[in-house]
Chains A and B, each alone.
Chain A
Amino acid sequence: MSDVVEKTLSALPSLLSLDSQAGAGKLSPSSKLGNLIKGITELTSKHEEETLIKKELESIKEQVASPNTTMRQMKEIMVRAIYCEMLGYQASFSYIHAIKLAQQGSVLEKRVGYLAVSLFLNETDEFLLLLVNTVLKDLQSTNLIEVCMALTVVSQMFPKDMIPAILPVVEEKLTHPKEIIRRKAVLALYKFYLIAPNQVQHIHSKFRKALCDKDPGVMTASLHIYLQLIKENPESYKDLTGSMVTILRQVVGGKLPLDFNYHSVPAPWLQIQLLRILAYLGKEDQGTSEMMYDVLEESLRRAEMNHNITYAILFECVKTIYTVHPKSQLLEKAAECIGNFVLSPKINLKYLGLKALTYVVQQDANLALPHQMTIIECLDHSDVIIKRETLELLFRITNAQNVTVIVEKMLEFLRLTCDDYSTIDLVGKVAELTMNSVFSLGGDVMQPDIPNNFLRLLAEGVDNVEDRQLRLFAVDSYVSLLQGETAKLPQRFLQVISWVLGEYSYLREEESDPGSVMRLLARLLDQRHTSTETRSWVLGAMTKLCSSPVSVALARDVCERYLYSGSLNTVLRQKAQELMILSQDTKLRARVLPAEGRLESPEVDSSLSFLDGYVSDALAAGAAPYKSPHQRQEDLVQEKALSLEPYGLSLPVSLSSCSITDRRSPTLLSMSSGLSGNSTELSHQEGSTTLKLEGVKRVWGKDGYLAQQQSAGETPTPLVELPSPLLSPQSPPSQKPSSGLEPDQEKRQLASSLFVGLGSHNSVCLVRLPSTVWLFIKNCQSANQSNVVKSLFKPFYINSCQSKNHGSFVKVSGIFAARKSCQTDDSCCFPPQISCISGSPLKEVKGHSVSVCLHTVVMKRASVQVELAGLLSYQRPLGQPQAAQFSLSLSLKHFLRPLTVSTGDYGKMWLSFSHDLKQNLRLVTTEHQEPLTATLDALKGKLHLHVVDIIGSEGIVACRLLQGPGQGQPCLLHCRVHADSLAVWLRSPVPELPDSLLYHCQKALTET
């Protein structure tokens, strides 16, 4: 920065001399401003700045006091005064002159006067009263500019009490012939409404008139008012829904004059405003919501993804759709939109996508599932704001199963950003809230280090206001918890509570009687369900608290019970004894537990050097040297005296489950037992939700993440390997991680632990359920084969073990042993766009075996996406026939293949095709490649296109669509770089193909 300053300093003198030359003496005030600015830029220290401004203020003071100063000079002086105020120096003596300037100056000087007033004063300033008459006079002026200025200043600041004085005049302006005046009057009235709602109550009908104003600008201004009114009280304005919908429909439909377009989007800000109003109106109101579905859908459709401002509209649309009474069709589209936001490479859109997700997961946590990997990546994003938004999102999907991981992430974030107070405050509260709700749920299953982390978070950090607030908040919430029913609270949570109360109760002591916390703690001791460990925590807390006479008496009471009623636990006895002694001896207490020492962490001599003397004495007396437990254990192993290892389990599956737990974070181990408890319930869901979860399952299957397998499947893969995870328990999935995926491994694990509990299918990772059909449908594309192979692998097994209760993995293994063979047949329903040209039926499947059937599928009619659904029915030898549904979404690109043609042939084909389409697409930019090459490469990679030739700024591309046996139908693309976009011209003999392909191109490029 400093060399920039220097550079400027060297340049400024010449610049300013130029200025004064041009001014040539006549403009002495202007050069005074010039001098001031020059002086400011030449400053090198804060001290110099002070001197300079002081001097300047002196000179201003002198000038304003002089009777010879003209209004024009005054205007210039005001600008200088504004500069001084800007730098933080009071120029209060000039306030009155600013008002005078506004009163007496010509239009131009008046403007500066008003400006100075609005910058210098605030709404409560008494000086403003002097301005009322001026404003009133200007409002009644015939000069439009004066009226405008008055309205502006009124809306910026006006004393609340003086509103009645000018209200009638402002009201009158609502019918002014000039549109700009009406508009400003509406906003001024809105401002009045904000600061003094009662005073404008009688003119609500006039607002309605403004809403119906023939000028769209005035209508837009009135929407500010309605947004506020409807936000406060939606019920009274339901009748406006129809009008709002109509307005939005007209705007979206382009009925406004072209002047209102911004980047060829019709009045985007107006659209945003209307969408927000609709959200308030339609919230929890089905009838009203139904009125707006159509227009919402239209806005979604019209807002093409091409400019920042359309994203703004889309975002608003999505929010509205999720706020009003839900309609599944719209929700789907909105979810897709959110997906686009989250996946966008543009950081602002990503931020909004996360925000939108945060908003919608409250309704449907499963919406976050498709974006797991993106969310994980965002957690490590370099931008703190993105990170924080992600944590906020995670906070919303917290449940008893993933809380540990999420809280860990939050604590990690906290440690990194200790400089940002507001962040600490926010995330601290988040952690706090999570802890309270989840301690009581997750409770004892939780790893001990989580509460410890939490306590450290509370204890760490300087004693600033935020920390204090957080602690006080914790204390307060815990006290109220203890006042309620405590029997259900987990032991570990009770321990945390006692520690916090012991440490920080003093924060609230001013407002409550000192004994209350003690009494609550004593009550805890009395309860039967409180464990011994918790009791000792409680006693510890009491020791810290017994300062007042009330608590001393209480403590003594408690101690006597423990010491004399013959408690057998030595730890408890010792603690009680300590408490007894400390409560009796206040001096000792003050020394051991100094009140002001609470915040300093005591120094701990971890090397235990004070014991050195004792140790050497003991050694000298012939004692054996100390060995650490670890050492002792090693010795034991070496001596083979006793095997501490459990005997190896003979069941193969126990191996697999062990290795699963090895690979996952230890927290998952504890979760699994919680999960298996309700596994029977899950098993019922499993069958019914197969269809719905299919899209997710392909990515997040048993391994947690199947996408990698899928991509591996693009090269021909031995069939046996694919279903193996389920069919051969001897080689559990965890033992065969695909090579080259190691860096992702961690993320996947994280993802599976973060999103556990969001969908019932997640349980697949952990527990084998009875009576379940495992159905894996694989998408396999083989580049070598001449036609597409759509392979549906359906490895499955059916187990008939009816074990209802498996608390552990070992029990689960029994299911594997009891596998039976079964009979199956399958049926697929092919939508009109798809046909099956060859297929093999499924056969009887024996236990431990695989049946594979292959279907070759082609796309008969080009379309963007098709849904292939099927039913797999099967029968066990002695059982009822059963069925499992599956569905597979296939997009056009699954049916596209490169078309290799020469440039000459391309030219001939181009001329013969009749269906064509033109569109501009965005260019992909990379560092190493030309934009055109990069874009075409991206298309080639994603859509299997063949780049025929690139000449200069033009490129030709060809592909074919598999429509039946044989080559398939071609589609040709001609691409040209035009300005910043890629002009694409598609031609094909198939009617729908260019349109559908263009959609995929657009999507592919947006995702890049």
Chain B
Amino acid sequence: MWTLERNEDTEQQIIRETFHLVSKRDENVCNFLEGGMLIGGSENRLIYRHYATLYFVFCVDSSESELGILDLIQVFVETLDKCFENVCELDLIFHVDKVHNILAEMVMGGMVLETNMNEIIIQVDAQNKMEKSEAGIAGAPARAVSAVKNMNLPEMPRNINIGDISIKVPNLPSFK
């Protein structure tokens, strides 16, 4: 979610750089990356968590606690897991809008709104209820996805950055 004004090109560049930086880091290094020029100088930091094939990257300024954000990502992922019932990459790809909505319940306009998973789920559920009553049979694709989920899925080739700065699928480095 872009809370600062930026043009399209910088956005894309930031995502690419971020992906580049984060993906080449080992497992046994720390989860913090300090400000590059792109993300707005030394005040800002990238805080990321790596889950299987996914990286969740938050970009925060100095007014946030590093470890606090690290746990916030955990809360976010746990919430996703609850909302999608055993979340996988496909959920995030097919339901970008829902992921955004969940994130919006946690972080609003760049500020942490709610950190309690149950509260977030209550809010999301309230909206989903309305969706069900409105959409009727639209539940079908969700069923399809959950059927797919049970297959032994190969790794998805794409990385999804979901975070304070972005929820975008950047270009694959392997695309020449």
Contacts and interface: CB of A to CB of B under 8 A. Distances in A.
Interface residues of B, number: 80
Contacts of A694: none
A89 to B, nearest CB: 9
> Most chain-A Cβ atoms within 10 A of its Cβ — which of B26, B68, B94, B101?
B68
Interface in A707-731: none
A122 B4 CA distance: 8
A267 B129 CA distance: 29
B61 to A, nearest CB: 12
Nearest to A46: B175
B67 A311 contact: yes
A312 B94 contact: no
A45 B172 CA distance: 10
A145 B5 contact: no
Given A4-B154, A45-B176, A49-B175, A115 B100 contact: yes
B111 A260 contact: no
A23 B71 contact: no
Contacts of B116: 259-260, 262
Contact of B144 (A5, A22, A119, A276): A22
Contacts of A506: none
Contacts of B171: 46, 49, 87-88
Interface residues of A, number: 94
Given A27-B140, A309-B71, A422-B35, A2 B174 contact: yes
A26 B147 CA distance: 19
A421 B17 CA distance: 12
B137 interface: yes
Interface string B118-133: 1100010011001100
Interface in A416-445: 421-422, 425-426
Given A4-B155, A88-B8, A312-B65, A145 B126 contact: yes
Contacts of B29: 347, 382-383, 385-386
B70 interface: yes
Contacts of B123: 148, 180
B119 to A, nearest CB: 7
A425 B170 CA distance: 27
Given A8-B155, A145-B127, A115 B114 contact: no
Contacts of A15: 90, 148, 151
Nearest to B90: A15
Interface stretch (A184-192, A326-334, A901-909): A184-192
Interface in B90-139: 90, 93-94, 96-97, 100-101, 104, 108-109, 111-116, 118-119, 123, 126-127, 130-131, 134-135, 137-138
A1 B171 CA distance: 13
B92 to A, nearest CB: 11
Contact of A187 (B7, B67, B113): B113
Contacts of B151: 11, 15
B169 A348 contact: no
Interface stretch (A104-112, A393-401, A873-881): A104-112
A309 B31 contact: no
Contact of A315 (B67, B135, B148, B176): B67
Given A86-B169, A382-B26, A422-B36, A187 B96 contact: no
Contact of A312 (B42, B66, B126): B66
Contacts of B42: 426
A268 B71 contact: yes
A83 interface: yes
B167 to A, nearest CB: 8
B5 to A, nearest CB: 4
Contacts of B66: 312, 315, 348, 351-352
A124 B4 CA distance: 10
A79 interface: yes
B134 A107 contact: yes
Interface string A191-220: 100000000000000000000000001000
A23 to B, nearest CB: 6
28 contacts: A8-B155, A11-B154, A19-B141, A23-B140, A27-B138, A33-B94, A37-B93, A87-B168, A88-B8, A88-B12, A88-B171, A112-B97, A118-B1, A145-B127, A148-B123, A190-B111, A221-B111, A231-B63, A259-B119, A260-B116, A269-B72, A347-B28, A348-B66, A382-B29, A385-B29, A385-B32, A421-B37, A422-B36
Given A26-B137, A190-B111, A347-B29, 16 more contacts: A18-B147, A19-B148, A21-B144, A23-B144, A27-B140, A37-B93, A43-B175, A119-B2, A152-B109, A154-B109, A155-B109, A155-B111, A183-B113, A352-B67, A385-B34, A422-B35
